[in-house]
Amino acid sequence: MSSNRFTSDQIHILGTLALVNAVNFIDRQIIGALVPLIQTDFLLSHFQVSLLGTVFSLVHALFTLPFGILADRTSRKRVIGFGILFWSAATFFSGLATSFRTLLGARALVGVGEAAFTPAAAAIITGSFPVALRARVQGVFDAGMFIGGCVGLGLGSVLAVWMGWRPALFIVALPGLLLAWRIARLREPRVERARPVPILQLLRIRAYVAVLVSGWFITFAAYGFIFWGTTFVHRVKGFELDEAGVILGANLLVAGVLGIVVGASLADRMMQRVEWGRIFIIALGLLLGVPFLFISFHISNKALFLVFFFIAGFFMSWYHGPLTAVLHDLTPKRAHATAVALYNAFVHLFAVTWAPPVVGRVADRWGLLNGMHVALAAHLIGALCFFACIRFVRGSGRKHEQPQSSTNLDEEDDLESQLLPST
């Protein structure tokens, strides 16, 4: 993927949205680095502090689908601009919380703002670039997510030790407020405002539903790891809190960005050969990461822990760019924001919302290591489910179930040729 093939507008769109995505995930994931201090400050159990992740995810799930539908029917960049301002303000007010209930409410508001961003941004990117590069440009966008998430972990732990958890939230809220104005300068690709695609029509696409189910397991595992990762490295592996956040964040940053680049590139190339190429790369990367993650959980040597954790993170991050590309491959262009929003709503409501408290409850009873085992088991099941998705993407010989490696779904506007008939 060479930048000399892109126009200045394309570069501006991709660069700006990737940067905003980084800020988005700094604000979202920093809470994981602050968990030990918040837990001590408010005298909370593992289960109680995990509710910070639950309320965020629940509210995010409830609002992401309405915002996705709104983005497909109105201006996507206006929806994004509102979201940035809202979540940044809510992050700032999180630092002013005087009780745990107040903090829960503020984190819920962060979920409202962030729900407006990803579906609309991913749809703008897909609409701005060729289909053949879909996974790679979405990979660049998701690299912003990975960078932001890792910076959130590392910066959050350092700021928490130096200043406390409240100033950490004040500081990370500011970049979003400064970035919102840049969104107004984006040249949003034109999308025909045809009749909306009903949600039930999307759910008649069997391959799309199969991806939803597979994504549930992977998302459950990912958010179990993310929310409890710093605490696990601090309490089980023996790293100091600031050291844990920085090392874990830096490790994931390098491994994740490399994995996103490699996975997205492989996915686009495989898609040129077989219609299920992107799904296969997703499944393969997820499966290859399992044994390395398991070893990293159990190895006592700190250096070897980081090596195996790095390898696991590299393989597990293959799925980021291809996943959004697959969701768009399977759905009509005018429903791209809705398709991603429905996916996000589903996994947040039924996976992200439950992962932190389930892992926390297991940790309270049987130790944090066993809690992480629960997340690892979900990851393995999700990898196997993505292999099963290949059958649905291939369509069992039915052309209308295929994701179309060509541009059929983007060129045709007839729902009957894109979606499964009623049975």
SS3 of 309-360: the string is: HHHHHHHHHHHHHHHHHHHHHCCCHHHHHHHHHHHHHHHHHHHHCCHHHHHH
Ranking 22-36, 213-227, 292-306 by mean pLDDT, the lowest is 22-36
Confidence band for 63, pLDDT divided at 50, 70 and 90: very high
Residue 379 CB-half CA count within 13 A: 28
CA pseudo-torsion sign 286, 288, 294, 296: negative
CB-based burial of residue 61 (10 Å sphere; 0-12 exposed, 13-18 middle, 19+ buried)?
Answer: buried
Give residue 400's pLDDT.
34
Q: Residue 191: inside a domain, yes or no?
A: no
Q: Residue 2: inside a domain, yes or no?
A: no
Give residue 245's pLDDT.
67
User: In 10 A of CB 21, how many CB atoms?
Assistant: 24
Confidence band for 178, pLDDT divided at 50, 70 and 90: confident
- Round to whole Å and give the CA distance between 295 and 312: 9
Which DSSP symbol is given to 406? Answer: S
Number of domains in the chain: 1
Largest CA distance in the chain: 61
Mean pLDDT of 115-132: 91
Give the containing element (helix H, strand E) for 151. Answer: helix 134-163
The structure's pTM equals 0.76
Q: Residue 194: inside a domain, yes or no?
A: no
Q: Residue 190: inside a domain, yes or no?
A: no
Ranking 77-86, 202-211, 370-379, 393-402 by mean pLDDT, the lowest is 393-402
Q: Residue 412: inside a domain, yes or no?
A: no
**Tokens (6 digits) for 108:** 């819920």
With 90 as the cut, is the pLDDT of residue 213 above it?
yes
Give residue 382's pLDDT.
95
Provide φ and ψ at 124, rounded to 5°: -60, -45
Work out the mean pLDDT of the chain and round it to a whole number.
84
The answer to whether 342 and 200 are in contact (CB under 8 A) is no
- Round to whole Å and give the CA distance between 407 and 133: 12
Helix, strand, coil shares of the chain, percent, nearest 5, are 85, 0, 15
Q: Residue 422: inside a domain, yes or no?
A: no
Question: Among 116, 103, 143, which Cα is nearest to 317's?
Answer: 143
Provide φ and ψ at 186, rounded to 5°: -70, 145
With 50 as the cut, is the pLDDT of residue 397 above it?
no
Give residue 192's pLDDT.
60
With 80 as the cut, is the pLDDT of residue 326 above it?
yes
**Tokens (6 digits) for 407:** 């541009």
With 60 as the cut, is the pLDDT of residue 403 above it?
no
Mean pLDDT of 22-43: 87
The answer to whether 127 and 76 are in contact (CB under 8 A) is no
Mean pLDDT of 256-276: 91
Residue range(s) defining the domain that contains residue 17? 8-183+200-405
Q: Residue 373: inside a domain, yes or no?
A: yes
The answer to whether 249 and 151 are in contact (CB under 8 A) is yes
The answer to whether 324 and 343 are in contact (CB under 8 A) is no
Give residue 75's pLDDT.
84
Provide φ and ψ at 381, rounded to 5°: -60, -40
Q: Residue 164: inside a domain, yes or no?
A: yes
Residue 401 sits in a domain whose CATH number is 1.20.1250.20
Mean pLDDT of 144-170: 83
The answer to whether 91 and 172 are in contact (CB under 8 A) is yes
User: In 10 A of CB 229, how many CB atoms?
Assistant: 23
With 50 as the cut, is the pLDDT of residue 35 above it?
yes
Nearby residues of 110 by Cβ (< 8 Å), 6 or more positions away:
27, 28, 56, 87, 90, 91, 94
Confidence band for 395, pLDDT divided at 50, 70 and 90: low
Give residue 242's pLDDT.
67
Ranking 3-17, 37-51, 74-88 by mean pLDDT, the lowest is 3-17
**Tokens (6 digits) for 286:** 């997820």
With 50 as the cut, is the pLDDT of residue 418 above it?
no
Place of tokens 């958010």: 223
**Tokens (6 digits) for 125:** 């990117």
User: In 10 A of CB 410, how many CB atoms?
Assistant: 17
**Tokens (6 digits) for 389:** 């998705």
Provide φ and ψ at 393, rounded to 5°: -65, -40
The answer to whether 287 and 318 are in contact (CB under 8 A) is no
Give the distance, in angstroms, between the CA of residue 256 and the centroid of all CA atoms in the same chain. 12
The string of DSSP codes covering 188-202 is PPP----SPPPHHHH
Place of tokens 């039930």: 200
